[in-house]
Structure 1
Amino acid sequence: MNLAPTPQTVVLATDMSGRCDRALARAVQLSGTWRARLLVVHALEDDEAGQAAEAARRPPSWRQPESHEAAVAQRLRDDLAGEGITADVQTARGAPAAVVLEAARREQAQLVITGLAQDQPGVRRRVGTMADTLLRDPLDVPLLVVRARSSGPYRHVLVATDFSPASRAALATAAHWFKSAGLTLFHAFEVSASDPTGLGFGDESRAQTASRACEQMLAEMALGPEVTDRLHPVFEGGEAAALLPDHLRNSDVDLVVLGSNDRTSFMKKLLGSTTETLLHAIDCDVLVVRGGK
């Protein structure tokens, strides 16, 4: 399998609030590492645009008329320049997810980044809804949801797998994008009430079956020793949606990578009815990779 090329254009979705600072820091770190162009996108929603239009109708004597989009874009540029950040800026009116997706398509971005608040339930729902929309869209671009504060490059990346083409694409992306990180390949296999250990009663256990599937996948992907030497497989029996958060709480993983496409139910099994199930259950960042059809 060909490894995914590193992004040349990265899109960051921001609402210009402090809760997006972590996503901005991660976007700056990644775009700098990859020498990629960083594009910061902000959507002007109806309430914000309406307030600006009302103010423009009755401006004070010293204010020169200007478009609200231009004013917001200039504020973003000034804020970024003040932090020593080099980035392009785009603003547009509309629903945040739609604005971000349109920018990603137009600029042919290879990665979209957004943030997710950790301590404000109301904000969580709104930002989480945008993440849901971005994940459901057929745009074939990975989505990185940032939860944690950036302290340098990712050091330990976990790839959740069911050995499907989608999870193979996730592993290939993680291996190439994060060359210095340790890799954990996590697989949860189903167990029955009569066989809670997964040891089985046939010629081989479910754990052995998972190990064989993993070996076959790695052989077919031909990732090379530079990847396999830093890859640690973990196989556990039980529900992935419960096992994965528990594993993360007891490890130093700082990024989870998931594969997704319309032809697999793995994501649905893993995440539950909505993506917020996992996004709010763990404290580390999540990268969702589309592809592997």
Structure 2
Amino acid sequence: MTTEFKMKRPRQLLLATDLGARCDRALDRAIQLSRAWHAALTVVHAVEQVELIDDEPSWRQPPDAALAIQAELEDELGEAGLSSIDARVLKGKPSEVVLKVAEEVEAELILTGVKRDGALEKALLGDTVTELARQSRVPVLVVKKRLRKPYGRIVVATDLSELSRAALARAVDLFGPDNLVVFHASFAHFASRMDDRVAYESELRSDAIQNCRDFIRDVAGEEAAATMEVMVEYGEPDLLLEKYVQDKQVDLVVVSTRGRSGLLGVLLGSVAMRILDSVACDVLIVRS
């Protein structure tokens, strides 16, 4: 059964921030998407309980951390010039606070940032990012790159399973089919036993490309199947994507997950977390 997907932009975005340098890039991307999609933006920050300092007078005790941080955050966000932006600072475990607020405001997309290795500028996943990726019922956009332009080249990783339909469908919803590349990592089984390995692999590649186009047609329609770029390569998906992202200057990779049960990425087996960790660009995680 063919499903035609039209552009379906989120009406409510949520940015999870720790107010550190790790989330500056995510904040910039959240503001850009909020403007482009005319979506409301809620910014949420979680704080731990502030303990009183023993043997200190009252005026040297810490103020209510949540209220102080919220006031500071609202001042900073006011400079963005967005008409519909809301700041919330709550006490609790970050992932739990973010998911609770996301449900309350009916967020359709959660954005968050990553830590960085200053020496190598490598993005480092934290516990909050991992928990959001595993538990969120709405897509999670993990922002790694500085904002220079709207998303251009977008790669949808797929193993052509029913599970991976969600990634392609949501990518088409958000960005349209024009800039999408469907990326399928395959394995040339028994190639080493073939007399003409090149011809064997070429035939397998042709079949895989046709399967990808059939997959696109089933998810996004005939026009998308005819125009969308398809990339089929042999090898491990995470290693191939890491190189492809670097060589082709990819802005965003989209992957599907099954959420709380099993591995983070049933799509592409056990390598989905490695894709999230290894590629240098932003990653959109879509729950199937």
Paired AA for residue 232 in structure 1: E
Matched, 1:68 2:65: yes
> Is 1:20 paired with 2:18?
no
Q: Over aligned residue pairs, what C-alpha RMSD do you find?
A: 2.9
Q: Aligned partners of 2:214 and 2:287: how far apart in 1? A: 22
| Structure 2 residue 39 is the aligned partner of structure 1 residue 42 | no
1:1-293 matched pairs, under 5 angstroms: 1-3=3-5, 5-46=8-49, 49-50=50-51, 53-54=52-53, 58-60=57-59, 67-86=64-83, 87-120=85-118, 127-137=125-135, 139-179=136-176, 182-192=179-189, 194-195=191-192, 200=200, 205-225=203-223, 227-228=224-225, 230-261=227-258, 262=261, 265-271=266-272, 275=273, 277-291=274-288
- Equivalent pairs: percent with the same residue? 33
Moved over 4 A (4+): 196-199
Distance in structure 1 (CA, Å) of the matches to 2:111 and 2:36: 15
Deviation of residue 164 (structure 1)?
1.6
Structure 1's 236 and 200: CA in aligned 2 closer, same or farther, altered over 3 A? same
Question: What is the CA–CA distance in structure 1 between the aligned matches of 2:198 and 2:236, rounded to whole Å?
Answer: 12
C-alpha distance in structure 2 between counterparts of 1:200 and 1:96, whole Å: 51
- The Cα of 1:116 is off from its aligned counterpart by 1.1
Q: Where does structure 2 lack aligned partners over 5 or more consecutive residues?
A: none
Matched letter for residue 265 of structure 1:
V
The structure-2 alpha-carbon separation of the partners of 1:265 and 1:189, relative to structure 1 and needing over 3 Å to count, comes to same
Tell me how far apart the structure 2 counterparts of residues 198 and 210 of structure 1 sit (CA, whole Å): 15
Return the offset for 1:222: 4.2
Q: Secondary structure at the match of 1:54?
A: coil
CA contact (8 A) 2:184 2:233 kept: yes
Aligned residue pairs, count: 275
Separation in structure 2 between the aligned mates of residue 236 and residue 170 of structure 1, nearest angstrom: 19
TM-fit CA distance, 1:85: 4.3
Instruction: Decide whether the 8 Å contact of 1:198 with 1:237 is kept in 2.
Output: no
Q: Which amino acid in structure 2 is aligned with residue 11 of structure 1? A: L
Structure 1 18/8 Cα, relative in aligned 2: closer, same or farther at 3 Å?
same
Amino acid across the alignment from 1:29: Q
Which structure 1 residue ranges, 5 or more long, are not aligned? Answer: none
Q: Distance in 2 between matches of 1:145 and 1:91?
A: 21
The normalised TM-score by structure 1 is 0.83
**Cα drift, residue 66 of structure 1:** 5.8
Q: How high is the TM-score relative to the length of structure 2?
A: 0.84
Question: How far apart, in 2, do the equivalents of 1:180 and 1:194 lie?
Answer: 34
- Residue 198 of structure 1 and its aligned partner are, at CA, apart by 7.7
Question: Aligned letter for 1:14?
Answer: T
Q: How far 1:118 sits from its partner (Å)?
A: 2.9
